[in-house]
Chain A
Amino acid sequence: MGALHGWVTTVDHKRLGVMYILAGLLFFVIAGLEATAMRIQLAVPNNDVLSPQVFNRLFTMHGTTMVFLVGMPIIIGMANYLIPLMIGARDLAFPRLNAFGFWMFFFGALLLYFSVLGGDGLYGAGSMPDVGWFAYAPLTGRAFSRGNSTDYWIVGLLVGGVGSLTTAANLITTIFTMRCPGMTLGRMPLFVWLLLVVFFQMLLALPPLSAAQIMLLFDRFLGAHFFNTQGGGDAVLWQHFFWIFGHPEVYILILPGFACASEIIPVFSRKPIFGYAVMVAATIAIGFISLGVWAHHMFTVGMSTGANAFFVFSTMLIAVPTGIKIFNWLGTMWGGRIRFATPMLFCIGFLFQFLCAGLTGVMLAAAPFDWQLSDSYFVVAHFHFVLIGGLLFTIFAAIYYWFPKVTGRMLSERVGRWHFWLFAFGFNLTFLPQHVAGVLGMPRRIYTYDADRGLELWNALSTAGVPFQIAGVLLLVLNMAWALRNGAPAGDDPWDAWTLEWATTSPPPAYNFETIPTVRSRRPLWDLKHPDDPDWKHE
């Protein structure tokens, strides 16, 4: 009881970080089960395991959950835990605000899932939202979405959004004001730099979503008609609002993946990151350009040729800094001495899959090609390659890499390798065939499809990949449970790494560092270990 009280009332950034990550993993399991149910329904044509009503709720909740209740909290959790340690601080700038942010997120999440009981949707009592995760107007209007399921979607995300905003402001303040002596901006670990850009993106991108959601509430309850087309409202206006949030959101999700890769790849290649300054510049470029690409989600709505051409250009342009990052990671590995520990395996999987995701992204950026691919299974495959093949793989890498720091115990490498290979195989088996299904004319969000349309094989393969992914995740969970008690003691610095979090004990004390460290370079622990050839001579 006392322990539980300690966790609920904590304002410690490390505990809150762990709570964010555990909550994210819990919702990851829920969203995974939702996806599994959908893949069972789609395994064979004309299947009727799920009704269309249930299927529509499942893909709405799967998407909403993965973005807002899995991706966001895990990212914020990692930032919470690691940033103070990496910059040599004792906590965030505003620890109580940090706790407030977590509980806002958590209550928002509960509110969204309370719709299962209280939604009173279109089909009778208790309905999860069923309008899709981007909730296009006017399907969300009172005329087409009766009951309250859509209201749970709106209010749950509004509440959670407040938490994300306060935490973003909190971490920006922390990064700007609480770095240890000697840690100039130019010496911050890339992880901190990338997350700094992410938190600025959150500050800029979330308010448009919140504003649009409030306008939608006005439509639904106060008779306004921002998006209510039957009252003269504008369906496309919602799309602009949503994607002005929604596309930066994609980078909010993937940049932390880049951040993890930018820490892990150097350590396991035994070389500093190649082109640190260029990596920072590329990140900032992505941050800016990502605010101007949103309407590539809307090439099919009938915008003017000029507008379409602009978004073709901005979207293709963002591939350049993204490509620079991939090249710099390869440059880091080049000439190194690569150790294939589990974190590095996941990073290599990430590099390969994110390369695929980036290239399908370029295809989608060519607007006329997008007219064919948009809203088909090709797009489903593309963004799962970004968010699972990209983000989730780096999150797994990060779990294997930093678990020893958080718990003081090593995860099993043997089980980790099984996890990697099972998950990588299952992931590719599920999502590679979906590219083909899309090319053959399969739209997304259909609960069933006809036989003899060339879709059976690709959907069967896609479903066949699911058990492998489940087995992989199960191994991770078992590995963590086992390692908590039985894992080999980690020591302070099990990977022979270079950033400040490895300078303190595992797990770190509540105050992080006995004495606040002073740094002279980007790799303070390298300097300690190689006094004859410290980094600061080269930077």
Chain B
Amino acid sequence: MLWTAAPLPIPSIFDPLSRPADEIYLLSLLVLGVCAAIFVVVGGLLAYSVVRFRQRPGDEDREPPQVYGSNQIELAWTVIPLLIVFVLFLVTTRTLIALENAAPPADALEVRVIGHQWWWEFRYPEQGIVTANELHVPAGRATFLTLESADVVHSFWVPQLNGKTDVIPNRVNRMWIEPREPGLYLGQCAEFCGTQHAKMFLRVIAHPEAEFVAWAASQTGVAVDDPAVRPGRDVFQSFACVNCHRIGGTVAAGVFGPDLTHLMSRDTIAAGAAANTPAMLRAWIENPDAIKPGALMPAMQLAPRDLDHLVAYLATLK
């Protein structure tokens, strides 16, 4: 991602910064520890056997003692693994219950997440906000997500915040995140969902409480209507743009593509495939396939002057 000055964080599952991810991390350390111990013991026995019992010069003709088995030994290496499995099962189930049955606290933010081929729609029912691909949440308190799909199966995965939960048509899944610190958290769709599965990126931006309130306020209301860019607005409203996109306060009420009412408040376009700059917007409208091959947005084939007007208009949609 060349357009950001600061290096983006690496979304490692071993660098958790949110409550569910923390608990998964603790469980995973325990499981890793047990597995590492087994690896050392069994791998050690294998290495020892290979070295100790190799054929040596001179004993080619001698058959070793023929041992057929031992019930005591068999019992030992059946019971010990059973005990290990039992302990692992109990520990896993404890984490499972804790994470799956957590009730939303009173101050939790509710967001509906709707997966589309190949972008994310976010709806905040209490705040009346609709946005795309960049999920803004408050740091320090829980956000509960309701996951739905408009088309095929997707999967919501922001490794530092929580494990993944599938986004399935005709089903409603729940998951929650609780970022400890403000910051940017990266993720992407984790279930193959068609041509552009690879560029269905996710960003979660956790704000300090006051900043979140300010962001939420900036996302309500109809779009900026700057008379200086009226020609661009007219282009938008007179072409097929309106079939798929919504801009509050205009005739555009489409639901197939991202809501553009506050387009310029987002850092990226095309689900994180490109930076949200006027130049990239222009390139995207002109030929989406060049940025995201197979994207469902058609090339709009506008005259260059119309394109200039349109980009100028979109650039005002703060």
Q: Which A residues have a C-beta under 8 Å from some C-beta of B? A: 51-53, 56, 122, 132, 136-139, 143-144, 229-230, 232-236, 269-272, 274-278, 300-302, 305, 308-309, 312-313, 316-317, 319-320, 323-324, 326-328, 330-331, 333-340, 348, 351-352, 355-356, 359-360, 362-363, 365-376, 439-441, 443-454, 530, 533, 535, 538-539
Bound Cα distance A355, B28 (Å): 18
- A234-B170, A331-B69, A441-B186 as given contacts; A366 in contact with B192, CB under 8 Å: no
CA distance A116 to B158 in the complex (A): 37
Q: Which of B24, B74, B198 makes the CB contact (< 8 A) with A371?
A: B24
Residue of B nearest to A526 (CB): B66
A337 touches B198 (CB 8 A): no
Contacts of A317 in B (CB 8 A): 85
Q: Is B151 an interface position by the 8 A CB rule?
A: yes
Q: When the two chains form their complex, are residues A320 and B85 in contact, meaning their CB atoms are under 8 A apart?
A: yes
**Taking CB as reference atom, which chain A residue is nearest B73?**
A331
- Taking a contact as CB atoms under 8 Å apart, the answer to whether A366 and B171 are in contact is no
Q: Who on chain B is nearest to A360 by CB?
A: B35
**A359 touching B38, Cβ below 8 Å:** yes
Question: Can you list 8 A-B pairs with a CB-CB distance of less than 8 A?
Answer: A138-B151, A235-B152, A320-B85, A328-B74, A340-B55, A368-B27, A372-B163, A376-B190
Alpha-carbon gap, A371 to B99, bound state (A): 11
Instruction: Say yes or no: A370-B163 contact (C-beta < 8 A), given A308-B96, A359-B35, A449-B198.
Output: yes
Cβ of A368 to closest chain B Cβ, rounded Å:
5
Q: Are B1 and A274 in contact (CB under 8 A)?
A: no
**Any A CB within 8 A of the CB of B265:** no
Given that A302-B173, A337-B53 are known contacts, is A327 also in contact with B43, CB under 8 Å in the complex?
A: no
Q: Which residues of A sit under 8 angstroms from B54, Cβ to Cβ?
A: 337-338, 340
A326 touches B13 (CB 8 A): no
A324/B64 contact (C-beta < 8 A), A52-B195, A440-B12 known: no
Chain A residues in 8 Å Cβ range of B198: 52, 445-449
Partner of B192, one of A139, A232, A453: A139
Residue in chain B with minimal CB distance to A320: B81
Q: List the A side residues contacting B2 at CB < 8 Å.
A: 451
Size category of the binding interface on chain B: 35 or more
Query: Counting CB contacts under 8 A, is B306 at the interface?
Result: no
Min CB distance A273 to B, Å, is 8
Find the residue from B8, B54, B190 having the highest chain A CB count within 10 A. B190
Q: How far is the CA of A474 from the CA of B99 in the complex (A)?
A: 50
Q: Which residue of B lies closest to A239 (CB)?
A: B153
Specify which chain B residues have a CB less than 8 angstroms from the CB of A338 in the assembled complex.
49-50, 53-55
Given A235-B171, A445-B197: A363 touches B32 (CB 8 Å cut-off): yes
Cβ-closest 8 pairs across A and B: A371-B163, A446-B198, A441-B11, A275-B69, A229-B169, A302-B173, A454-B10, A359-B35
The answer on a CB contact under 8 Å between A371 and B164 is yes
> B77 in the interface, Cβ–Cβ < 8 Å?
yes
Smallest CB separation, B45 vs chain A (Å): 5
With A232-B170, A348-B46, A372-B163: A336-B64 Cβ-Cβ less than 8 Å: yes
A366 contacts B66, C-beta separation under 8 Å: no
A230 to B149, CA, bound (A): 11
Known contacts A362-B88, A443-B188; is A277 also within 8 Å of B69 by CB? yes
The residue from A301, A327, A440, A454 contacting B166, defined by CB atoms under 8 A apart = A301
The reply to whether A363 and B67 form a contact with Cβ atoms under 8 Å apart is no
Contact A302 B171 (CB under 8 A): yes
Please name all residues of chain B whose beta carbon is closer than 8 Å to the beta carbon of A376 when the two chains form the complex.
Answer: 190
B191 on interface, CB distance cutoff 8 Å: yes
**B85/A272 in contact, CB under 8 A:** no
Cβ of B93 under 8 Å from chain A = yes
Known contacts A144-B194, A368-B24, A445-B192: A305-B100 contact under CB 8 Å: yes
Which residues from B are CB-within-8-Å of A454?
A: 10, 12
Docked Cα-Cα span, A533 to B155, in Å, equals 63
Q: Is the CB–CB distance between A278 and B152 below 8 Å?
A: no
Closest residue of B by beta carbon distance from A449: B198
Distance between B141 CB and nearest chain A CB, rounded to angstroms: 22
The reply on B239 being an interface residue by CB < 8 A is no
List residues 162-192 of chain B with CB under 8 A from any CB of chain A: 162-166, 168-171, 173-174, 186-192
Asked if A375 and B69 make an inter-chain contact with CB atoms under 8 angstroms apart, the answer reads no
Check A330–B85 contact: CB distance below 8 A.
no
Question: Which of B49, B53, B78, B170 has the most A CB atoms < 10 Å from its CB?
Answer: B49
Inter-subunit contact A323/B8 (CB<8 Å): no
Contact A362–B193 (Cβ < 8 Å): no
| B8 near A368: Cβ-Cβ < 8 Å | no
Q: How far is the CA of A440 from the CA of B11 in the complex (A)?
A: 6
Report if B277 contacts A (CB, 8 A): no
Min Cβ gap A41→B in Å is 11
Q: In whole angstroms, how far apart are the Cα atoms of A370 and B95 in the complex?
A: 12
Roughly how many angstroms separate A270 CA and B78 CA in the complex, as a whole number?
Answer: 25
Contact B164 A300 (CB under 8 A): yes
> Which residues of the partner chain A approach B65 to less than 8 Å between Cβ atoms?
271, 335
Beta-carbon contact of B10 and A375 below 8 Å: no
- Given contacts A270-B64, A337-B64, A369-B163, list 14 more A-B pairs with CB under 8 A: A274-B68, A275-B73, A277-B69, A312-B93, A330-B42, A335-B67, A337-B55, A337-B59, A369-B31, A369-B92, A371-B165, A440-B11, A441-B159, A453-B11
Complexed CA–CA distance, A312 and B32 (Å): 16
Most A CB contacts (10 A, CB to CB) among B39, B166, B171 go to B166
B305 sits at the interface (CB 8 A): no
A337 and B63 in contact, given A439-B13, A452-B7 (Cβ under 8 angstroms) = yes
| B12 → A minimal CB distance (Å) | 5
The answer for the CA separation of A453 and B9 in the assembled complex, in Å, is 7
Residues 68-100 of B, flagged 1 when their CB comes within 8 A of A and 0 if not, give: 111001100110011001001100110111011
A277 to B1, CA, bound (A): 59
> Which residues of chain A are near B12, meaning CB under 8 Å?
439-441, 454
